[in-house]
């Protein structure tokens, strides 16, 4: 008995050691196949610090809600914090010379960070009632010992917060007042703070508030006939400038510190002559001056003490202007930056003297960076005691550059922090014919490398050798070559960023191979607010056009709304040059890459517009004739989340009203209408179109066969009760439910429908082969859950009969049609899961043989690899020995999180948004690219690399062993011959 238990335990141990394949790395393997890049996003605001060690740093806040401290010399990140996606940063500043103050979440969260190391010092939540403009004002003359308050306006109230510990000193509520505060002004050393603003009509109000206790000292109000625009620009301590709201053609100066408020109106045409279009005030803070953009000109206007306006200078747009910077007592300077013939011209001027320049530099700028969007300047003392200036500029492609002494000191490709879509492209095939010298050198290097490795294996290596081995492994020249490799590990990752720039990253080391700012998708291009949507592989040379380069297409739209006209850009993936671009006349809602390629290997794409018309690309007659063959077999679906309707569409005929032979009209063939009062669509997921399934049959332990229902036309839809569609905790378990559906998208059949009561979203799901895994929150159990649904085809279940197979009475070869009544069974199971999830993906391999792993982007911005076998609906509490043999794990109520199975090991992919898996040519291995604010790439082998030797396999050791064995065989042979001879002579 005891023996049996022992045996069983042993078996169990063996079993578990087998079922938990460790994906973990050794410490020295980090960085061999993976790389990690850190970004911050487009910089919104930058604050330089001028004291002591702080001189070398700049603190920036970005549009990706990141606050970071950067090294001014090299552009590296000292420290960085990524705020949540709903915690946008409104303002940053430095207080007490040692704290970075950030105001975020529409002026409701105020935090202080320690400047040297980025530790959080304090955090204050500011309560308010109504949304309003959030303003941060940190007094500049801070003496370290004196507790000066920080003034924050947000959510309709003004707070004074102690900068030492974040305690709220006083609060003044403006929510009840009609005036919306636009500016808070705290004159240097004054005991009075001014809050000024205007209401929706023409009323202007100024409040004087006591700095010490928040007492309202005085309230002035005046109305200006016609009203003025929202933006109030502060000129000096008592003067504001605004545009009038009615016509936008005159400037209003407002003087508010006197006993009463006075207005003075000046026509812009009086200042600059006639102009067309609208005038825009630029938000640069310049004392006694302001700048305005009119008719492709930037005009600088000085305000005299009497409130009179005079034009001091004009420069041509595009140009940017920095805030004023105090360089010495009483002298302030600002920078302006113009473009001209591939260069940027930087000028630094004193505020009070337009005609002189403190600095004038011209720098050659890469065209692919577009125009300059923002500029921040900082001064330093040169070796000759004169004033030097450095400028931090933000470009159109979101990159960040530091200019100093007429050079680009460093640049950061921060556009990569906002990736919209990613795809891959193959590298060129290696040219045959390598020079002999290169081979010889390589041979020597190769031998040397292997001797070193051998020493390492035999533990003979000295510490220097170990370091050399590690260095060699990390920068193996093999992995960063610009040619295709045998295993398909080297590829180009083509990523589209929000700025409309396309980057090609090498998978070997993550470097940017080329980048291209798409002319159609840049802000300064032909359309307003363009957005990049997706990238698709356009041409993968395969059969016909072997000598052509592969190319891809980038789909975008001119504007934010879904019925804005679309754009297509075709880009060569080897050279990174745009082949052609099309501004479309129709909108783009959906792009369907068809399974058909034309004679030049271009893939046919159908672009669906907002009216459900389909447009065929490429626009060739060849493509039309190819499409006609499959015309009646093209179906698609559309999900209308706002109305809760899913519709199926099929191609009907050529467009009637439009004179376009590549346009086709469609008809609705099915619809599903979810009741508006009980269900709201929150997720719709389908299978990846290029997924490969190895086999349809699944053999169970008892020699039974189950047939997977494998269809590319399955859609997983999750709906929740409208009440429960908000945050977790806003609905009770009784009023929340989650319904899941599996829908065939050809006929609109609901193959599976199930309701989880007491559960709610957010739902993250992944669909692969015949299963879908989804993640949601269970309100009753107060935990996240992960569920799996597997769908099996019953119509083929009869084929198990051997006799039938012999007699040919099987339906294995009959084509599957969605119009047949489906005979499917579903199996599902539910598990608790500890983490909340940001994204789920599944590994995909070349032939689909290797077992699958789920890649789960956790809330901690890491990627966890979870074996699909843990999410097998056939798991039972007591699997039979046969089932155990098959690999079924005993049922547990929650999914295990094995620390070694983090794909990202010790790293974090901050702001994780997406996980892309790409099959390599090696069946065992998949490539994983994770993007968010950071980028991470690695190779994973879900069932270990069973089909290749690892990189650090020592061939030298193998050779030496073989040679040694052969020698030993000969020696023993000779010895034994001798001995035998001696024996015979005896």
Partner 1 sequence: MSFSHLRLLVLCLSLLAASCSIAFQSDELLIDDEEFGLEGGVQSKSPDLSLTRSQPSATTTTRKRFSDPDSDSKIQFSLEHAFGDSNFSPAGTFTARLKTWNHGGQTLTKLRFSRNAFTAEEERNFELLLQSDDFYRIRLPSNVLSPPGRDFVISSVKARCLARESLDEHFVIHTDGVNILAVNYGAPGSCPYPRQMKLPAKWSFNSYTILKNSEQAPRAPVFTEDILSGEVGEGEVVQPPERSFWAKYWMYLIPLGLIVMNAITQAMNMPEEQAGGQSAGQTQQPAAALQRGPTSAVRRR
Residue 712 binding partner 1, by CB under 8 A? no
> Which residue, 170 or 832, is less far from partner 1 as judged by CB?
832
> Which residue, 7 or 123, is less far from partner 1 as judged by CB?
7
Residue 642 binding partner 1, by CB under 8 A? no
Residue 985 binding partner 1, by CB under 8 A? no
Between CA 872 and CA 587 the distance in angstroms is 42
Q: How far is the CB of 827 from partner 1 (least distance, A)?
A: 12
Q: Residue 368 CA to chain centroid, in angstroms?
A: 21
> Which residue, 330 or 881, is less far from partner 1 as judged by CB?
881
Residue 125 binding partner 1, by CB under 8 A? no
Residue 276 binding partner 1, by CB under 8 A? no
Q: Is the distance from CB of 733 to CB of 778 less than 8 angstroms?
A: no
Residue 574 binding partner 1, by CB under 8 A? no
Residues 135-154 that bind partner 1 (CB under 8 A): none
Residue 781 binding partner 1, by CB under 8 A? yes
Between CA 541 and CA 552 the distance in angstroms is 11
Between CA 373 and CA 790 the distance in angstroms is 51
- Judged by CB under 8 A, the residue of 600, 695, 814, 950 near partner 1 is 814
Contacts of 826 (CB under 8 A, 6+ apart): 742, 751, 752, 789, 790, 791, 792
Residue 978 binding partner 1, by CB under 8 A? no
> Which residue, 149 or 715, is less far from partner 1 as judged by CB?
715
Stretch that binds partner 1, among 555-563, 588-596, 762-770, 819-827 (CB under 8 A): 819-827
- Judged by CB under 8 A, the residue of 356, 628, 632, 703 near partner 1 is 632
Residue 631 binding partner 1, by CB under 8 A? no
760 by Cβ neighbours in 10 Å (0-12 / 13-18 / 19+) ranks as buried
Please give the structure tokens belonging to residue 536.
Answer: 């698709």
- Whether the CA torsion 15, 16, 20, 25 is positive or negative: it is negative
Stretch that binds partner 1, among 20-28, 96-104, 402-410, 646-654 (CB under 8 A): 646-654
Q: Three-state SS for 851?
A: coil
- Judged by CB under 8 A, the residue of 56, 171, 285, 652 near partner 1 is 652
831-870 mask for partner 1 (x: CB under 8 A)? xx--------------------------------------
Residues 868-897 that bind partner 1 (CB under 8 A): 877-878, 881, 890-893
Q: How far is the CB of 715 from partner 1 (least distance, A)?
A: 12
Bridge partners (DSSP) of residue 356 are none
Residue 787 binding partner 1, by CB under 8 A? yes
Residue 2 binding partner 1, by CB under 8 A? no
Please give the structure tokens belonging to residue 251.
Answer: 């400037």
Q: How far is the CB of 781 from partner 1 (least distance, A)?
A: 7
507 by Cβ neighbours in 10 Å (0-12 / 13-18 / 19+) ranks as buried
Between CA 415 and CA 38 the distance in angstroms is 11
Residue 828 binding partner 1, by CB under 8 A? yes
> Which residue, 326 or 645, is less far from partner 1 as judged by CB?
645
918-957 mask for partner 1 (x: CB under 8 A)? ----------------------------------------
Cα distance from N-terminal residue to C-terminal residue, the chain: 60
Q: Is the distance from CB of 917 to CB of 930 less than 8 angstroms?
A: no
Residue 747 binding partner 1, by CB under 8 A? yes
Give the other-Cβ count within 10 Å of 806's Cβ.
9
233-268: string of b/e by CB count within 10 Å (b at 16+)?
bbbeebbbbbbbbeeeebbbbbbbbeeebebbebeb
- Judged by CB under 8 A, the residue of 673, 906, 949, 969 near partner 1 is 673
- Whether the CA torsion 160, 162, 163, 166 is positive or negative: it is negative
> Which residue, 802 or 877, is less far from partner 1 as judged by CB?
877
Residue 643 binding partner 1, by CB under 8 A? yes
Q: How far is the CB of 652 from partner 1 (least distance, A)?
A: 7
- Name the DSSP class of 405: T
Q: Is the distance from CB of 689 to CB of 713 less than 8 angstroms?
A: no
Binders of partner 1: how many residues, by CB under 8 A? 57
Between CA 309 and CA 288 the distance in angstroms is 10
> Which residue, 276 or 813, is less far from partner 1 as judged by CB?
813
Q: Residue 520 CA to chain centroid, in angstroms?
A: 21
Helix 463-474 crosses helix 436-457 at what angle (to 10 degrees)?
130
Residue 734 binding partner 1, by CB under 8 A? no
Between CA 500 and CA 508 the distance in angstroms is 24
Residue 830 binding partner 1, by CB under 8 A? yes
Stretch that binds partner 1, among 192-200, 453-461, 599-607, 826-834 (CB under 8 A): 826-834
Residue 638 binding partner 1, by CB under 8 A? no
Q: How far is the CB of 692 from partner 1 (least distance, A)?
A: 22
Q: Is the distance from CB of 60 to CB of 70 less than 8 angstroms?
A: yes
Residue 382 binding partner 1, by CB under 8 A? no
Residues 510-569 that bind partner 1 (CB under 8 A): none
Q: How far is the CB of 10 from partner 1 (least distance, A)?
A: 12
Contacts of 288 (CB under 8 A, 6+ apart): 235, 236, 302, 303, 351, 352
Q: Residue 333 CA to chain centroid, in angstroms?
A: 37
> Which residue, 507 or 826, is less far from partner 1 as judged by CB?
826
Rounded to 10 degrees, the C-alpha dihedral 876/878/880/885 comes to 70
- Judged by CB under 8 A, the residue of 678, 799, 836, 948 near partner 1 is 678
Between CA 973 and CA 502 the distance in angstroms is 67
> Which residue, 474 or 882, is less far from partner 1 as judged by CB?
882
* CA-based nearest residue to 264, from 245, 240, 280: 240
- Judged by CB under 8 A, the residue of 310, 441, 445, 668 near partner 1 is 668
> Which residue, 5 or 546, is less far from partner 1 as judged by CB?
5
% helix, strand, coil for the chain, step of 5: 15, 45, 40
Stretch that binds partner 1, among 42-50, 685-693, 755-763, 924-932 (CB under 8 A): 755-763
Q: How far is the CB of 6 from partner 1 (least distance, A)?
A: 10
Q: How far is the CB of 672 from partner 1 (least distance, A)?
A: 4
Q: How far is the CB of 748 from partner 1 (least distance, A)?
A: 6
Q: How far is the CB of 754 from partner 1 (least distance, A)?
A: 5
Residue 969 binding partner 1, by CB under 8 A? no
Between CA 811 and CA 741 the distance in angstroms is 28
Q: How far is the CB of 830 from partner 1 (least distance, A)?
A: 4
- The long-range contacts involving 361-366, CB below 8 angstroms and separated by at least 24 positions, are 361/403, 361/405, 361/406, 362/406, 363/403, 363/406, 363/407, 363/408, 365/339
Q: How far is the CB of 892 from partner 1 (least distance, A)?
A: 7
Between CA 493 and CA 680 the distance in angstroms is 36
Q: How far is CA 149 from CA 49, 195, 741, in A?
A: 19, 15, 56
Stretch that binds partner 1, among 45-53, 132-140, 518-526, 808-816 (CB under 8 A): 808-816
Between CA 397 and CA 216 the distance in angstroms is 46
Q: Is the distance from CB of 541 to CB of 601 less than 8 angstroms?
A: yes
Residue 675 binding partner 1, by CB under 8 A? yes
- Judged by CB under 8 A, the residue of 168, 669, 728, 797 near partner 1 is 669
Residues engaged in binding partner 1 (CB under 8 A)? 1, 4-5, 8, 632, 643, 645, 647, 650, 652, 667-676, 678-679, 739, 747-750, 753-757, 778, 781, 785, 787, 795, 814-817, 819-821, 828, 830-832, 877-878, 881, 890-893, 980, 983
């Amino acid at each position: 008995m005891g023996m049996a238990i022992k045996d069983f335990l042993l078996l169990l141990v063996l079993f578990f050691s087998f079922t938990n394949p460790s994906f973990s790395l050794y410490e020295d393997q980090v960085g061999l196949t993976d790389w990690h890049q850190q970004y911050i996003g487009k910089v919104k605001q930058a604050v330089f610090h001028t004291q002591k060690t702080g001189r070398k740093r700049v603190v920036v806040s970005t549009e990706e809600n990141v606050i970071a401290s950067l090294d001014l010399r090299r552009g590296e990140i000292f420290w960085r914090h990524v705020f949540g996606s709903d915690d946008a940063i409104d303002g940053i500043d430095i207080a007490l010379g040692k704290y970075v103050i950030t105001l975020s979440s529409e002026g409701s969260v105020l935090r202080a960070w320690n400047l040297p190391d980025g530790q959080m010092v304090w955090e204050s939540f500011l309560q308010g009632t109504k949304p309003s403009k959030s303003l941060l004002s940190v007094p500049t003359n801070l003496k370290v010992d004196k507790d000066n308050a920080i003034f924050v306006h947000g959510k309709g109230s003004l707070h004074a917060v102690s900068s030492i510990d974040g305690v709220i000193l006083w609060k003044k509520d403006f929510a009840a007042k009609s005036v919306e505060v636009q500016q808070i002004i705290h004159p240097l050393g004054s005991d009075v703070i001014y809050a000024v603003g205007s209401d929706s009509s023409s009323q202007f109000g100024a409040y004087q508030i006591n700095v010490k206790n928040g007492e309202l000292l005085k309230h002035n109000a005046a109305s200006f006939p016609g009203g003025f625009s929202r933006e109030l620009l502060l000129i000096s301590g008592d003067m504001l400038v605004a545009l009038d709201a009615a016509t936008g053609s005159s400037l209003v100066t407002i003087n508010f510190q006197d006993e009463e408020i006075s207005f003075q109106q000046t026509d812009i045409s009086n200042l600059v002559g006639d102009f067309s279009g609208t005038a825009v005030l630029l938000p640069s803070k310049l004392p006694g001056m302001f700048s305005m953009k009119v008719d492709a000109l930037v005009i600088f206007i000085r305000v005299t003490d009497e409130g009179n306006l005079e034009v001091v200078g004009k420069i041509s747009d595009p140009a940017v202007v920095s805030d004023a910077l105090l360089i010495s007592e009483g002298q302030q300077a600002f920078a302006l930056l113009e473009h001209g013939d591939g260069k940027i011209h930087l000028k630094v001027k004193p505020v009070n003297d337009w005609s002189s320049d403190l600095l004038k530099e011209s720098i050659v700028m890469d065209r692919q960076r577009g125009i300059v969007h923002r500029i921040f300047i900082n001064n330093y003392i040169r070796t000759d005691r004169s004033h030097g200036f450095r400028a931090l500029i933000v470009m159109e492609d979101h990159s960040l550059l530091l200019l100093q002494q007429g050079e680009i000191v460093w640049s950061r490709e921060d556009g990569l922090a906002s990736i919209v879509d990613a795809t891959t492209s193959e590298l060129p095939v290696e040219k045959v014919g390598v020079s002999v010298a290169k081979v010889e050198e390589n041979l020597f290097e190769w031998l040397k490398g292997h001797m070193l490795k051998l020493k390492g294996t035999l533990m003979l290596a000295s510490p220097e050798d170990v370091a050399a081995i590690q260095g060699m492994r990390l920068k193996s020249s093999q992995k960063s070559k610009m040619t295709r490799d045998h295993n398909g590990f080297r590829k180009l990752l083509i990523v589209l960023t929000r700025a409309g720039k396309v980057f090609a990253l090498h998978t070997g080391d993550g470097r940017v191979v080329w980048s291209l700012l798409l002319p159609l998708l840049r802000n300064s291009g032909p359309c307003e607010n363009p957005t990049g949507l997706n990238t698709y592989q356009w041409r993968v040379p395969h059969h016909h056009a072997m000598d052509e380069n592969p190319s891809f297409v980038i789909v975008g739209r001119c504007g934010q709304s879904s019925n804005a006209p679309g754009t297509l850009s075709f880009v060569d993936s080897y050279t990174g040059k745009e082949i052609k671009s099309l501004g479309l006349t129709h909108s783009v809602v959906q792009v369907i890459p068809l399974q058909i390629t034309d004679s030049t290997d271009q893939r046919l794409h159908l672009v669906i517009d907002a009216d459900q018309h389909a447009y065929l690309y490429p626009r060739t007659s060849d493509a039309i004739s190819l499409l006609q063959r499959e015309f009646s077999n093209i179906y698609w679906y559309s999900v209308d989340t706002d109305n809760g309707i899913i519709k199926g569409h099929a191609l009907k005929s050529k467009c009637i009203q439009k004179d376009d032979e590549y346009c086709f009209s469609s008809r609705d063939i099915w619809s599903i209408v979810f009741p508006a009062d009980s269900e709201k669509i929150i997720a719709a997921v389908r299978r990846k179109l290029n997924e490969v399934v190895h086999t349809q049959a699944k053999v169970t332990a008892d020699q039974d066969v189950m047939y997977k229902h494998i269809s590319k036309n399955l859609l997983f839809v999750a709906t929740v009760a409208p009440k429960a569609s908000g945050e977790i905790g806003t609905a009770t378990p009784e009023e929340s439910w989650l319904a899941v559906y599996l829908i065939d998208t050809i006929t609109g059949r609901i193959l599976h429908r199930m309701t989880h009561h007491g559960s709610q979203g957010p739902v993250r799901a992944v669909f692969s082969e015949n299963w879908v895994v989804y993640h949601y929150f269970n309100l009753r159990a107060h935990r996240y859950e992960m569920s799996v649904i597997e769908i099996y085809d019953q119509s083929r279940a009869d084929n198990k009969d051997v006799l039938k197979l012999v007699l040919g009475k099987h339906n294995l070869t009959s084509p599957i049609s969605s119009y047949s009544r489906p005979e499917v069974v579903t199996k599902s199971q539910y598990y608790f899961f500890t983490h909340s999830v940001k994204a789920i993906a599944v590994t995909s391999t070349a032939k689909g043989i290797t077992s699958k792993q789920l890649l789960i982007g956790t809330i901690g911005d890491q990627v966890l690899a979870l074996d699909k076998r843990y999410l097998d609906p056939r798991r039972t509490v007591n699997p039979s020995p046969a089932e155990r043999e098959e690999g079924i794990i005993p049922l547990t109520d929650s999914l295990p999180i094995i620390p070694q199975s983090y794909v990202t090991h010790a790293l974090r992919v901050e702001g994780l948004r997406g996980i892309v898996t790409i099959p390599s040519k090696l069946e065992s291995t998949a490539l994983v690219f994770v993007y968010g604010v950071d980028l991470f790439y690695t190779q994973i082998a879900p069932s270990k690399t069973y089909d290749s030797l690892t990189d650090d396999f020592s061939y030298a050791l193998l050779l030496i062993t073989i040679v040694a064995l052969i020698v030993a065989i000969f020696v023993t042979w000779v010895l034994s011959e001798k001995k035998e001879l001696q024996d015979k002579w005896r």
